[in-house]
Structure 1
């Protein structure tokens, strides 16, 4: 795959460089005529065997050194148009946001949500327990079993959590819980720093 990647990387359409087309969607016709494209190594080695005639892609920013692209391919028919490009622009925004959230959660996932911190942030004790378990990856049913409450009660707590935190789904609420825990931990560390008494001598 490394050798194939090096071969394909020599062609702008498959260079996977974020600066290609200034980060906007790009397609075959931006760089090649249909005839010239069918003579390139990427087409002959990968697209032709799959029956793919046209390729359109866009860079997905993730806020780190990772380079990701999202593309669509078409078997036969005309080249991509402005509507297709508009769709990729829309997908670029959504996928970039989702990827950044995932990376941010990965950084925090090694830490556990702290129920006490969530209570200090405005949740009830039971809501904090529920959200802590959700942040650990438990399902609604597993959370209900762990806390010895009904599934409907868990769902009611989740609705209340969404309302209080302003989050719309479990993933975002879990990320919120981890952030709150991290801020609370940092604040506690600052508050408990040892006091240093510096003697002052007056002459």
Structure 2
């Protein structure tokens, strides 16, 4: 059995203790370290090379957003997957962490079984998408951004018609299997299209691609 190694980064000892208890109770999950701030999280990520980091975004000193950017930049293709842990989903820090490459976010009130499932999901290379929450976050920012201010990332990407369809369904939070069902395609074919979309957008994962879709106006934050 492959054991997923997890690093916890949160300035509240009680939160870290609760997350450790949840994760260490699972036979395939193991907490390998605890960091009290972003600087310590970066140092421990380098030393321990965990599979997943659970990152609080609001910490004193070096915050979780800066730490997320540094860990992903430092690790490159081998960087750990990062799950943002937050009290409020409508948080600028959360949105910017997702834009920077975090694989998703969890609310601190999330049930233990869902926390464990989320860690397994992102460790397997998936993204933890909450389309409604991302839509709200994107909508909040669309009003403050002139039309086309981002340069039309999706328009410039040169997606094929099929890839565009796949991106729209990704933005709705559909899994590869669900996308295949909608488009009458095999899962492996969908994976190929998803990889092409990510490559053309220069996105680390599905979360970044979905944010690009909203920010470019390819998908409307007001709804599909």
TM-score with structure 2 setting the length: 0.37
Q: Which has the bigger relative contact order, CA under 8 A and spacing at least 6? A: 2
Larger radius of gyration: 1
TM-score with structure 1 setting the length: 0.41
